[in-house]
Amino acid sequence: MAVLPTFTTLGAGPTVLMLHDADGDHLTFAPQVETLATAGYRAVAWDMPGYGRSAPVEPYTFKALAQSCLALIDALQGGPVALVGHGMGAMVALEAAVRDPSKVRRLVLCAGGPAL
C-alpha cells in the first residue's frame, strides 16, 4: 500500500486540490485555502512527495507523482475534484488528469505544461 502524501484541508463542499511548484509546499496555497474554504469549498493543499513532510516516491517520476495525487483524491472521498497545479504541480495535475479523467472535474494549470 502506498503512503499518502501529507496535506492540509479546510472547509466543506466541493473539493479543490492544490499542487505546488518545485520550490514550495502546502503553505504555498495558504491564502487560497482560507479563501476557498470561506467560499464554500473543501480546500486541500498537499506536500508533493519528497517535499515538506511527504516521503518521496520511488522511482521519482511524473507518473509516480500523478499516482500519488490520484491516491490522495481517492482517500479524500470527495468525488471528482477541481485540480489546481502551479509549475511542477501543473505538470503533475495534467498527468493525473490524463491518467484518470474520472477523478478530475476541473483542471486549472498555471505556469506549467506537459511533463518533460
Element (H, E) at 10: strand 7-10
pTM of the predicted model as reported, rounded to 2 decimal places: 0.92
Q: What is the pLDDT of residue 30?
A: 95
The grid coordinates listed for 17 are: 486540490
Element (H, E) at 76: helix 62-76
pLDDT at 36 over 80: yes
CA gap 60, 58 in Å, rounded: 5
CA gap 81, 104 in Å, rounded: 5
pLDDT at 20 over 80: yes
91-115: average pLDDT: 91
73-97: average pLDDT: 95
pLDDT at 93 over 60: yes
Q: What is the pLDDT of residue 79?
A: 86
For the chain, domains (ranges, CATH) are 7-110 (3.40.50.1820)
Element (H, E) at 37: helix 30-38
Under a CB-based contact definition with an 8 Å cutoff, are residues 7 and 72 in contact?
yes
